[in-house]
Structure formats: C-alpha cells, structure tokens
C-alpha cells in the first residue's frame, strides 16, 4: 500500500466512473494484484482458495462501486471490501476465522490453473438462467465483445448489456448468500 | 473462470451506473420521514394543546433530544455503510443525545421535589409511548435497512442497530408532539426503551437482510 498506488488507482477509478472503460480494466487488474497479495498473506489455513476470495472481492467492488466517495482514498475502501469478503469466505465454510493481524505468515496458495474449474464463481455461473449464463460466458471466458456476443446470439447490444449486468449482479448476490456455502459443502460430500 | 476473464466481464459492464450511496441516504431519509409523518397523523396526531406547549422548555427539550439522536445516527449510518470510511468521529457524536438527556434528568431532579419524581417518571402515556414509537418507526427502519443493503456495511449487525436508532430518533421526534409527558424522567426511561426495541429489530434486520 503505497502513496503511488493510491494516487494511481484513485485516478483510474475516477476515470472509470466518468466512462473510461480502459481505465476501469486497468483499475481492476491492478486492484486484483494488490488484493491477491494481501489475501494470500492472510490465509494461513487451508479450506479457502485465495483466488476465490479475489474474485468475490472484484465482483463486490464492481456491484458496490457506487459506495466509493470520490473525495475519500480508494485503497482503504478496496481493502475493507476484501477483508469483509475474506471473513465471509471463512464463515461460510464454517471455519473459525483465522486472520493474522501481522502479515507474517507465508503464502500457501495453489497455482490458479489447477483449480480453475472448481472455482466458486463457476458454480455461481451455473446457477444463472441460461440466457444470462451464455452472455456472461461469452463476454468473459470466450472473450467476445458486447457486439460480437450480440451477433452470436442474434440479440441487440442493449439486451446483451442487460443480461450481462443482471448476470453479474446475480453472481455477486450468490457469493453473499449463506445457502450458497451450504450447497457447496453438500456437493463436496 | 479465470480472474482475467472475470475482469473482462466486469469491464464490459462498466457503463452500467448506479446512484451514489450518499444520494440514496438522502432519498431514504425523505421517504422515511414521509412514512413516519403519515403513520403519526393517521394513528395519533399532535396533542391538542400543542400551541401552548411549544412555549414550555420541557416540551421543546424533547425535540432537541430526539433530533440529536436522529442526526447523529444518520451520520453514523452513512459512515457504516461505506467500506473503509472513518467512523470514530460519527460514533463519538452518538453520545450527544444521551448526554443531553442526562443533563436534563439532573436538572429535573434538582428542580422538582423528590415526592414528585415517581409520578413524573411513570407519567400517563407509558404504554402508548412503548407501542407508538416502534409503530411509527418500523416503516422508516425498513427503508433504512434497504439503504444499508444498497450500501456495503462491513459490520451489518452494528449498522442495522444504528439504523434502528435512526428510525427511533425519527419516530420519537413525531411521537414527542403527541405525548403529554414532558418530564426528562419520563423521556429518559420510556423513550429509551421504545427506541431500544427499534435498535434491536434493526440489529436483527441487519443480520438477516443486509447481505452483499
């Protein structure tokens, strides 16, 4: 957490809110890297995949970005959301909350690629209505633009945007729901 | 889904915008005040001698207490619904209302003979006070919990309880215009219990409904 990060991220987020999509992608990538660093250091016990928490945090940042006040620094806001999502992740998995105050513990994170299909976000994605699911997959995993996705499914760009927005909101909500954690544990057994 | 893929999707959704949380709080406060006013006028209305009561210190003091509570709880609710926002200053202001009531109780004990304390504390409207403050406040509490949901409180139970205090302060401001018991002894006892009921409901609502 340096003053340079703060100034840069603050500028990017302000540009993003003003409608600059490139700035938003930059903001999210840099935020993901910072949050990943913090979360890996704070998870000192198994059971929670740091990358799941990174993704939950990014989704929460996205759907709650109207709660950031532009006159306040952005990093405390980001870290408060990350911390909340981390505590939530432990709680949902029925674990005692183990968050190191001093960031001394060593990382134990698994490489991202190995567990990519087992991610929480995939389960949340699978729970979406088919139309939303295919739009979200198209724009994310398949890497299409809004226009390409509209052409693929033969619907308007507005319809793509609406499905994408609703789909992401629904995924974010699922992460926040208690039942999701329970359902997940049930599936694992 | 890889994190980079997720970022693509979030970026594609960058244009969707939502009202700033600060505006949502003001709209919520307006809506809650309208609801409280409607329930107040339909259910009980102001006391008949309000024109003369307005010139008595004890009557006016009730509004000072309840509005101090509402204003400080509003500020703290706003801070608690924003991740990473500083809350200590807003939290410190929460002592204003109890402090004012405490001073008023002290003055009342000094100015009224001890034989009258009991009568003033029990008053004449205790049951009405305990039922109508929560009744007027329950609608506003629902509004404030909805705003909390729209926000991102990292301590939902605490935020819900403070929203309950806010609803309580608002409801008590209306109720004070109806109530004939103006003694700080009455206010310190029964208003506090009635507002505490709303705070407890708010904490419960925060736990159950404020998930994000």
> For the segment B57-103, what is each residue's pLDDT rounded down to a tens digit?
999 999 999 999 999 999 999 999 999 999 999 999 999 999 999 99
| A103 shares a domain with A64 | yes
Rounded Cα distance, A132 and A136, in Å:
6
Distances, alpha carbon A24 to alpha carbons A28, A65, A68, in Å: 6, 11, 14
A126 vs A187 pLDDT, higher one: A126
| A99 shares a domain with A15 | yes
Of A55, A86, A115, the position where a domain reaches its end is A115
What is residue A177's predicted lDDT score, i.e. its pLDDT? 65
Residues of B in Cβ contact (< 8 Å) with A140: 1, 5-6, 8-9
State yes or no: pLDDT of A103 exceeds 50: no
pTM value is 0.89
What is residue B67's predicted lDDT score, i.e. its pLDDT? 98
A24 reaches B (C-beta below 8 A): yes
Residue in B8, B151, B211 closest to A139 by CB: B8
State yes or no: pLDDT of A135 exceeds 70: yes
Of A90, A115, A140, the position where a domain reaches its end is A115
ipTM of the complex: 0.90
Percentage of chain B exceeding pLDDT 90: 92
What is residue B95's predicted lDDT score, i.e. its pLDDT? 97
- Selection from B66, B27, B60, B85 nearest residue B174 by Cα: B66
Classify residue B157: in a domain, yes or no. yes
Classify residue B2: in a domain, yes or no. no
| A129 shares a domain with A99 | no
Computed over every residue of chain A, the mean pLDDT equals: 81
Name the strand (E) or helix (H) holding B134. Answer: helix B126-150
Q: What is the 3-state secondary structure (H, E, C) of A43-106?
A: ECCCCCCHHHHHHHHHHHHHHCHHHCCCCCCHHHHHHHHHHHHHHHHHHHCCCCCCECCCCCCC
State yes or no: pLDDT of A98 exceeds 70: no
What is residue A173's predicted lDDT score, i.e. its pLDDT? 87
Q: Which two tokens stand for residue B6?
A: 């997720």
pLDDT in tens, A108-130: 333 444 455 567 888 889 889 99
Rounded Cα distance, A173 and A43, in Å:
23
pLDDT, mean of residues B174-182: 94
Distances, alpha carbon B165 to alpha carbons B10, B93, B142, B145, B202, in Å: 37, 13, 13, 12, 8
pLDDT, mean of residues A145-170: 94
| A6 shares a domain with A25 | yes
Q: Count how many Cα atoms sit within 13 Å of the Cα of residue A15 in the half-sphere of its side chain.
A: 16
How many domains does one find in chain A? 2
Residue in A32, A69, A164 closest to B9 by CB: A164
Which residues in B103-160 belong to E strands, given as ranges? none
User: A29-38, A44-53, B37-46, B111-120: which range is least confident on average?
Assistant: A44-53
Structure confidence at residue A96 as a pLDDT band (50, 70, 90):
low
Q: Please tell me the distance in Å from B84's CA to the nearest CA on chain A.
A: 4
- Are B159 and B98 a contacting pair, CB within 8 Å? no
Classify residue B172: in a domain, yes or no. yes
Instruction: Determine whether the interchain pair B10/A121 forms a contact, defined as Cβ–Cβ distance below 8 Å.
Output: no
| A33 shares a domain with A84 | yes
A58 reaches B (C-beta below 8 A): yes
Classify residue B122: in a domain, yes or no. yes
Chain Cα centroid distance, residue A186: 23
State yes or no: pLDDT of B192 exceeds 60: yes
A166 reaches B (C-beta below 8 A): no
Residue in B6, B20, B21 closest to A140 by CB: B6
Q: Which of A1, A40, A65, A67 to mutate to test the interface with B (most CBs of B within 10 A)?
A: A67
State yes or no: pLDDT of B119 exceeds 70: yes
Report the CATH number that the domain containing residue A22 is assigned in CATH.
1.10.1740.10
What is residue A8's predicted lDDT score, i.e. its pLDDT? 93
- Selection from A137, A8, A141 nearest residue A16 by Cα: A8
Residues of B in Cβ contact (< 8 Å) with A77: 82-85
Structural domain boundaries enclosing B127:
20-209
- Measured between CA atoms, the residue of chain A closest to residue B209 is A177
| A132 shares a domain with A87 | no
Classify residue B10: in a domain, yes or no. no
Rounded Cα distance, B37 and A36, in Å:
49
Rounded Cα distance, B198 and B82, in Å:
22
CB pairs under 8 A between A and B: 126
Computed over every residue of chain B, the mean pLDDT equals: 95
Rounded Cα distance, B195 and B134, in Å:
7
Residues of B in Cβ contact (< 8 Å) with A67: 21, 81-83, 151-152
Q: Which two tokens stand for residue B207?
A: 């736990």
Structure confidence at residue A107 as a pLDDT band (50, 70, 90):
very low
- Are B141 and B204 a contacting pair, CB within 8 Å? no
Classify residue B12: in a domain, yes or no. no
- Measured between CA atoms, the residue of chain A closest to residue B9 is A140
Classify residue B1: in a domain, yes or no. no
- Measured between CA atoms, the residue of chain A closest to residue B11 is A25
How many domains does one find in chain B? 1
pLDDT, mean of residues B171-187: 95
Q: Which two tokens stand for residue A139?
A: 């724009």
State yes or no: pLDDT of A161 exceeds 90: yes
- Measured between CA atoms, the residue of chain B closest to residue A84 is B154
Instruction: Determine whether the interchain pair B82/A60 forms a contact, defined as Cβ–Cβ distance below 8 Å.
Output: no
Distances, alpha carbon B88 to alpha carbons A1, B76, B181, B210, in Å: 22, 9, 34, 22
What is residue A117's predicted lDDT score, i.e. its pLDDT? 59
| A177 shares a domain with A156 | yes
State yes or no: pLDDT of B56 exceeds 90: yes
Residue B155: burial class (beta carbons within 10 Å; 0-12, 13-18, 19+): middle
The DSSP letter of residue B191 is I
Rounded Cα distance, A85 and A97, in Å:
12
State yes or no: pLDDT of A185 exceeds 70: no
Q: Please tell me the distance in Å from B86's CA to the nearest CA on chain A.
A: 10
Between CA A85 and CA A93, with CA A91 as vertex, the angle to 5 degrees is: 105
Structural domain boundaries enclosing A109:
1-115
Structure confidence at residue A4 as a pLDDT band (50, 70, 90):
confident
Instruction: Determine whether the interchain pair A58/B6 forms a contact, defined as Cβ–Cβ distance below 8 Å.
Output: yes
């Amino acid at each position: 957490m340096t003053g340079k990060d703060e100034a840069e991220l603050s500028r990017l987020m302000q540009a993003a809110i003003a409608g600059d999509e490139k700035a938003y992608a930059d903001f999210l990538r840099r935020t993901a890297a910072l949050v990943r660093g913090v979360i890996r250091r704070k998870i000192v016990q198994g059971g929670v995949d740091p990358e799941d928490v990174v993704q939950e945090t990014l989704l929460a940042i996205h759907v709650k970005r109207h709660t950031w006040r532009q006159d306040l620094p952005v990093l405390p806001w980001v870290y408060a959301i990350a911390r909340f999502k981390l505590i939530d992740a432990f709680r949902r998995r029925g674990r005692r909350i183990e968050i190191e105050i001093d960031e001394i513990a060593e990382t134990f994170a698994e490489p991202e690629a190995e567990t990519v299909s087992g991610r929480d976000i995939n389960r949340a994605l699978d729970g979406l209505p088919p139309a939303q699911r295919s739009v979200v997959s198209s724009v994310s995993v398949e890497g299409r633009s809004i226009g390409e996705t509209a052409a693929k499914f033969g619907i308007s760009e507005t319809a793509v945007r609406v499905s994408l927005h609703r789909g992401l909101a629904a995924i974010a909500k699922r992460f926040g729901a208690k039942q999701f954690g329970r359902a997940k544990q049930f599936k694992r057994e | 889904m890889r994190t980079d893929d997720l970022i693509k999707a979030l970026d594609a959704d960058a244009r969707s915008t939502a009202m700033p949380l600060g505006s949502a709080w003001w709209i919520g406060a307006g809506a809650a005040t309208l609801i409280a006013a409607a329930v107040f006028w339909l259910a009980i209305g102001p006391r008949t001698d309000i024109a003369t009561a307005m010139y008595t210190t004890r009557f006016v003091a009730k509004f000072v207490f309840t509005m101090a509570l509402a204003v400080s709880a509003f500020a703290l609710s706003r801070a608690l619904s924003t991740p990473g926002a500083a809350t200590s200053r807003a939290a410190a202001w929460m002592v204003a209302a109890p402090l004012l009531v405490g001073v008023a109780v002290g003055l009342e004990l000094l100015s009224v003979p001890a034989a009258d304390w009991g009568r003033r504390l029990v008053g004449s409207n205790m049951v009405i006070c305990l039922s109508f403050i929560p009744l007027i406040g329950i609608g506003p509490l629902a509004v404030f919990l909805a705003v909390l949901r729209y926000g991102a409180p990292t301590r939902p139970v605490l935020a819900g309880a403070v929203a309950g205090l806010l609803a309580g302060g608002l409801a008590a401001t209306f109720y004070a215009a109806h109530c004939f018991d103006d003694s700080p002894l009455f206010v310190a006892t029964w208003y506090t219990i009635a507002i505490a009921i709303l705070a407890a409901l708010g904490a419960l609502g925060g736990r159950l409904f404020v998930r994000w």
